[in-house]
Amino acid sequence: MTLLGEFSLWAAVIVGLWCTVISLSGRWNGRPELAATVTRSTHAILFCLLAASLALWQGLISHDFNIEYVAAYTSRNLPPYFIVSAFWAGQKGSLLFWAVVLSLFGSLAQTLTPRRYSDLLPYVAGVTSAVVVFFVGVMLLSANPFERLAFTPPDGRGLNPQLQNVGMVIHPPMLYLGYISITVPFAFAVAALLSRKLDTGWIHAIRKWTLVSWLFLSIGITLGMWWAYVELGWGGYWAWDPVENASLLPWLTMTAFLHSVMIQEKRGMLKRWNLGLIVGTFLLSIFGTFITRSGVISSVHSFTQSNVGYFFLAFLVIAGTFGFTLLYTRWPLLEPAASLDSVVSREAAFLFNNLLFVGIAFSVLWGTLFPILSELVRGNKITVGPPFFNRVNVPLGLLLLGLTGIGPLIAWRKASPENLKRQFLWPGLAGLATLAGLLAAGMRDPYPLMALSLAGFVAGTITQEFQRGTRARMRMHQESVPVALGRLIGRNRRRYGGYLVHVGMLIYFVAFAGMAFKREQEATLKPGQSVEMRSPFGHTYRFTHIGISQYEALNRIVTAGTIEVTKDGKPDGLITSEKRQHVDSFKRPTFEPSTEVGIRSGLQEDLYVVLAGVVNGTEEAVYRFNLNPLVWWVWFGGMVLVAGGLVTMWPGGGPTIRARRPAQAGYEVALDAGTVDGRAGGQADRRAGGQAGRRADGTAASGV
Partner 1 sequence: MERQPAGFDVVAGHTRRRFLGAAAGAVAATIGIAATLRAQGEEPLAGQGANGSLRDPTVVGRSRNPTSPRDNDEAIKTIEQRLHCTCGCNLDVFTCRTTDFSCTYSPELHREVLALYDDGKTAQQILDAFVAKYGERVLMAPQPGGFNLLGYLLPGVAITVGAVVLALVIGRRERRRSLALAAASAGAPGAGGAPLAGSATPEELERLRRALAEVDD
Q: Which of residues 329-348 bind partner 1 (CB under 8 A)?
A: 339-343, 346, 348
Identity of the residue, 29 or 683, whose beta carbon is nearer to partner 1 in the bound complex: 683
Q: Which of residues 354-383 bind partner 1 (CB under 8 A)?
A: 355-356, 359-360, 362-363, 366-367, 370, 374, 377-378, 380-383
The answer to the question of residue 31 lying near partner 1 (CB under 8 A) is: no
Closest separation between CB of residue 551 and partner 1, Å?
9
Q: Which of 300, 317, 439, 574 touches partner 1 by CB under 8 A?
A: 300
Dihedral of the CA atoms 303, 307, 311, 316 (nearest 10)?
Answer: 50
149 belongs to the binding site for partner 1 (CB under 8 A): no
Which residues in the 392-451 window bind partner 1 by CB under 8 A?
392, 395-396, 411-413
Q: List the one residue from 26, 32, 154, 387 that touches partner 1 (CB under 8 A).
A: 387
Residue 272 Cβ vs partner 1, minimum distance, rounded to whole Å: 14
- Rounded CA-CA distance 635/501 in Å is 14
Cβ(316)–Cβ(286) under 8 Å? yes
Q: Find the shortest distance in angstroms from Cβ 262 to partner 1.
A: 10
With both helix axes pointing from N to C terminus, report the angle between 308-329 and 183-195 in degrees, rounded to the nearest 10.
40
Minimal CA–CA distance to 578: which of 609, 606, 532?
A: 609
Residues 6+ apart with CB under 8 A from 536: 517, 518, 519, 605, 627, 629
Do the Cβ atoms of 450 and 385 come closer than 8 Å?
no
Q: How many residues bind partner 1 (CB under 8 A)?
A: 103
Site for partner 1 in 609-638 (CB under 8 A): 610, 612-620, 622, 624
The span of 175-183, 536-544, 627-635, 662-670 binding partner 1 (CB under 8 A) equals 662-670
Residues 74-113 that bind partner 1 (CB under 8 A): none
CB nearer to partner 1: pick between 66 and 416: 416
**Is 701 near partner 1 (CB under 8 A)?**
yes
Binder of partner 1 out of 21, 239, 316, 472 (CB under 8 A):
239
102 burial level (CB within 10 Å; 0-12, 13-18, 19+): buried
Neighbours of 435 (CB within 10 A): 18
Which region, judged by CB under 8 A, interacts with partner 1, from 53-61, 119-127, 421-429, 664-672? Answer: 664-672
| x/- map, 636-655, partner 1, by CB under 8 A | --------------------
Closest by CA to 502, choosing from 433, 455, 432, 467, is 455
Distance (Å, whole) CA 628 – CA 632: 9
| R_g of the chain, CA atoms, integer Å | 28
Residue with Cβ nearer partner 1 (40 or 391):
391
Residue 3 interacting with partner 1 (CB under 8 A)? no
Contacts of 47 (CB under 8 A, 6+ apart): none
In the list 437, 547, 571, 662, the residue contacting partner 1 (rule: CB under 8 A) is: 547
What is the rounded end-to-end Cα distance, in angstroms, of the chain?
46
| CA pair distance 85, 98, nearest whole angstrom | 13
Question: Residues 448 to 507: which contact partner 1 by CB under 8 A?
Answer: 492, 495
Q: Please state, in angstroms and rounded to a whole number, the distance separating the CA atoms of residues 347 and 438.
A: 33
166 or 344, CB closer to partner 1? 344
- For residue 365, CA distances in Å to 243, 278, 421 come to 11, 17, 38
CB distance 461 to 490 below 8 Å: no
Is 576 a residue that touches partner 1 (CB under 8 A)?
A: no
* Beta carbon nearer to partner 1, 314 or 680: 680
